[in-house]
């Protein structure tokens, strides 16, 4: 809690615009993007909106054993779903800072989230069953990500 609650926190700079779907897809599509700053998160959201893709983000901690167990399997998702209009991201929850975590309602990891436009439309907090967690992420993609138009 800040000492001066009447002072609003500094706002991040606006993300750079993406002129077209191809530019956004070229920058973020087909791989898992690592997000370590607020600016990178907002840039990713802007690209996601421009590409009209589903965004599936795993909020994680570098010291979380469950997160580490999920990582190699999640990195296969872009190849598995290359025919879907979906962008994947791993978000370092500690590095992006408490203000962004609080604004997004992220208080525990590992957490998979699905985003359409600027809205979180689905989330799954991973328990001890890593398989169930990955099945939830799979369900997010398969139920929400439309087929990708050929380049």
Domain ranges (residues) in the chain:
21-144
Dihedrals φ, ψ of 60, to 5°?
-145, 170
Sheet holding 111-116, edge to edge: 32-35, 86-92, 54-60, 111-116, 119-125
pLDDT digits (tens, 9 = 90+) for 103-147: 999 999 999 999 998 899 999 999 989 999 999 999 999 999 989
Return all residues near 90 (Cβ < 8 A) that are at least 6 apart.
32, 33, 34, 35, 57, 58, 60, 71, 74
Q: Which single residue is written with the structure tokens 């699905």?
A: 114
As a whole number of angstroms, the distance between CA 79 and CA 128 comes to 26
Query: In the prediction, which pLDDT does 29 show?
Result: 66
Express as a percent the part of the chain with pLDDT over 70. 79
CA-wise closest residue to 87 among 46, 39, 131, 135: 46
Rounded to two decimals, what is the model's pTM? 0.81
Locate 78 and state its tokens: 């872009």
Q: What is the mean pLDDT of the chain?
A: 84
Q: Which helix (H) or strand (E) holds 22?
A: helix 21-28
* Ramachandran area for residue 131 (φ above 0: left; ψ -120 to 50: alpha; else beta): alpha
pLDDT, greater one: 97 or 51: 97
Question: SS3 of 133, please?
Answer: helix
Query: In the prediction, which pLDDT does 8 show?
Result: 46
Direct distance between the N- and C-terminal alpha carbons of the chain, in angstroms, rounded to an integer:
48
pLDDT digits (tens, 9 = 90+) for 14-42: 445 555 556 665 666 678 999 999 999 99
Residue 52: pLDDT band (50, 70, 90) is confident
Express as a percent the part of the chain with pLDDT over 90. 62
Q: Quick one: fold of 21-144?
A: Glutaredoxin (3.40.30)
């Amino acid at each position: 809690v800040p000492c001066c609650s009447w002072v609003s926190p500094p706002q991040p700079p606006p993300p750079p615009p993406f002129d077209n779907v191809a530019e956004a897809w070229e920058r973020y599509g087909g791989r898992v993007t690592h997000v370590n700053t607020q600016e990178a998160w907002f840039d990713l959201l802007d690209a996601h909106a421009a590409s009209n893709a589903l965004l599936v983000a795993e909020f994680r901690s570098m010291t979380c054993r469950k997160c580490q167990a999920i990582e190699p399997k999640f990195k296969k998702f872009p190849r598995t779903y290359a025919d879907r209009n979906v962008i994947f991201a791993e978000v370092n929850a500690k590095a992006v800072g408490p203000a962004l975590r609080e604004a997004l309602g992220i208080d525990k990891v590992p957490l998979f989230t699905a985003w359409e436009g600027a809205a979180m439309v689905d989330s799954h907090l991973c328990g001890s069953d890593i398989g169930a967690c990955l099945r939830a992420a799979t369900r997010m993609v398969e139920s929400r990500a439309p087929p990708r138009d050929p380049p």
